[in-house]
Chains A and B, each alone.
Chain A
């Protein structure tokens, strides 16, 4: 088999894995947009905030210690316990994200019911900046190492197997394999939750028609808190996966930029669309960089993802899985 074909296969596999990582971020956007029609600009910052909170709890750090020390002249940094088991830290972080969801609903969107979508969108921009500042104030700006026990590095089984087949071992990162499994479980869990639980059915009812859901006694307030909580949980998962690669730092919030073409392609209202969109973007940009990148100077991933999404938009404006908008005049 020609070398370039073998390399292209490796690139495709890695593109699929990268696509899963994009889809993890896109899922949070879809959840909130589907249930409330809000495009949540702060989803990337939520991933950052969740990851910083997780590391902060794991390391037993005192939140707002910089502020407390500056005001009271103390030198607080850590609690007496210096480390918290990963699972417990994750559970506590989920609790923080639920609290965050409640606060967002109570203090922001509860007051904006019935407003134009652009107003709600702008509120999420404000929320993003507020949350970024809050994360900085709570946990500081230093890069933190995230270690929840996930494997990283070359998968030797795949390397050895493909070497046996092609005389060239494929590189697949163990973390990407874990991310794929987690994403699959997450999607299955979300679908099962939406289909088979009372709260999930309420969520779907609100997504279909707010007024009708309200008329049958479903609490919009509760459903929106639930949705923001789920988006917070998805943000935590995305934050763990991305943070394991680079350490937890402020650039994590920029991963949201990679979710936008995924959403444009997959549709803003479809969970399977987020996954398929992520895979197409991941593979498309990787193959383009492999085949065309060297001829035009490389580093094509960022812009090519948007070009790919725009090409799809020309033919299907609602995205691959989005709901077709029909307005009668």
Chain B
């Protein structure tokens, strides 16, 4: 009996991360309707930390671990995953779900663990004075809505007056996020905004595309995720909507979103927060991770849009951890120190070059007050013949004069609702 108990305890210890590791839990979804997007992101996130372990011996000499917990993009399961992993010494959470993010905000605030909702989640979390433990750099939904409109302005000689733009959105917390910004922008630039929601999961959009065909909009902007994206691209092709006037946000621009439609998807546009193309770091991932049989997947996702984004997220977390080690002068940091590292994060062009990630994102600096980053994005276009995305613009900046007042207003309302006194970040 004693032997069995000893073995059981040893097994449990082996199954969880060693307490001396730097722990970056991954609330992933490799099953369910949204798995196609969840898998490459989770692979990129895990592979980058494995690369750091194999190549550099971890971060600052401390090995990293990435315990995965399957959420299936389900909010309740996401919360369960958080609760079951936070005791393992978690430094930062990256749930890849706006619904889960909303549920975790009060919990991480109480538990003092940073939450990084990279380009998703609650947009007003960009205000670090109110959301002390939540970060959404390098951009948020309102930034991306503004960037898309700025791109459209550039395509129309600076005027969208009298034009009609349809917002086709996932009828969820995620999909509804850009509406306020687009409403403000429609008033500012004089375009008509038509809102068309699509219910989860988005398999059926026949009525929405009949409406689009009748409305004859100048542009369709899509806030989709999962199967909604593939169906929308196919339906757009079916009604012969011009693909170069159909623009997805940065969660509607992966390879698997366009490939099911085949050649008909050629020319489809989407925003992207990260660069695409071959990066030197991929060779290192292949050498240190894939060839050693340590990859999270089979290596086939390397280089895809969402793999790069997962890897980019891991890089930002690792750089923040290194910054925290530097600030506090210790290698074994805790979640509070990690928060300090995230607030002092400074991503430069030189650093991205050093890491073999030239142009993977914009250079930016996080601060106590600004947890949102620069909010920049690039427009990419699908080339169906070569089956690859082609970047067609440089990084485009959002219009802060539009987004910042909305962020201030929403975060102030959140602070009032939750009895939060905003921090003073002036020092």
Interface residues of A, Cβ cutoff 8 Å to B:
7, 10-11, 14, 18, 66, 69, 73, 75, 77, 132-133, 136, 141-147, 152-154, 171, 173, 242, 245-247, 249-252, 254-255, 258, 286, 289-290, 293, 297-299, 301-302
Contacts and interface: CB of A to CB of B under 8 A. Distances in A.
Given A145-B262, A254-B201, A301-B204, A154 B240 contact: yes
Nearest to A18: B206
9 nearest A-B pairs in the assembled complex, by CB-CB distance: A247-B260, A251-B33, A299-B197, A251-B227, A141-B35, A251-B201, A143-B256, A299-B171, A299-B199
A286 B35 contact: no
Interface stretch (B102-110, B142-150, B231-239, B398-406): B231-239
Nearest to B72: A250
Contacts of B262: 145, 147
Contacts of B190: none
Contact of A69 (B198, B201, B298): B298
B375 interface: no
A143 B240 contact: no
Given A141-B30, A153-B237, A297-B197, 4 more contacts: A14-B206, A132-B31, A141-B35, A144-B260
**Which of B207, B213, B230, B238 has most A Cβ within 10 Å?**
B207
B393 interface: no
A6 B238 CA distance: 20
A146 to B, nearest CB: 8
Contact of B35 (A7, A14, A171, A250): A250
B2 interface: no
A4 B399 CA distance: 39
A124 B357 CA distance: 49
Interface string B369-401: 000000000000000000000000000000000
Interface in B232-259: 234, 237-240, 256, 259
Contacts of B195: 298
**Which of A10, A132, A246, A252 has most B Cβ within 10 Å?**
A246
B196 interface: yes
Nearest to B226: A251
Contacts of A69: 298
Contacts of A132: 31
A66 B198 CA distance: 34
B154 interface: no
Contacts of B293: 73
B32 interface: yes
Contacts of A153: 237-238, 240, 264
Contacts, number: 110
B36 interface: yes
Contact of B206 (A77, A142, A286): A286
Nearest to A282: B206
Given A145-B260, A286-B207, A246 B31 contact: no
Contacts of B298: 66, 69, 75, 77
Contact of A14 (B203, B210, B231, B237): B210
A14 B208 CA distance: 12
B214 interface: yes
Contact of A142 (B197, B208, B237, B256): B256
Contacts of B207: 11, 14, 286, 289-290, 293, 301
Contact of A302 (B30, B33, B199, B264): B199
B91 interface: no
Interface residues of B, number: 40
A171 B237 CA distance: 12
B30 A251 contact: no
A141 B29 CA distance: 11
A250 B33 contact: yes
Contacts of A254: 33, 201, 203
Contact of B234 (A66, A133, A246): A246
5 contacts: A73-B293, A152-B237, A247-B230, A251-B33, A301-B199
Contact of A249 (B198, B227, B237): B227
Contacts of B201: 251, 254
A142 B227 CA distance: 12
A18 B204 contact: yes
B198 A299 contact: yes
B30 A246 contact: no
B118 interface: no
B27 interface: no
Nearest to B209: A171
Contacts of A293: 207
B39 interface: yes
A146 B230 CA distance: 12
A302 B226 CA distance: 17
A245 B234 contact: yes
Given A145-B259, A171-B239, A173-B238, A249 B199 contact: no
Contacts of A289: 207
A141 B301 CA distance: 12
B183 to A, nearest CB: 14
B36 A142 contact: yes
Contacts of A250: 31-33, 35-36
Nearest to B238: A153
Contacts of B226: 251
B39 A142 contact: yes
A7 to B, nearest CB: 6
A143 B231 contact: no
Contacts of A299: 171, 197-199
Given A249-B33, A251-B227, A7 B199 contact: no
Contacts of A152: 234, 237-238
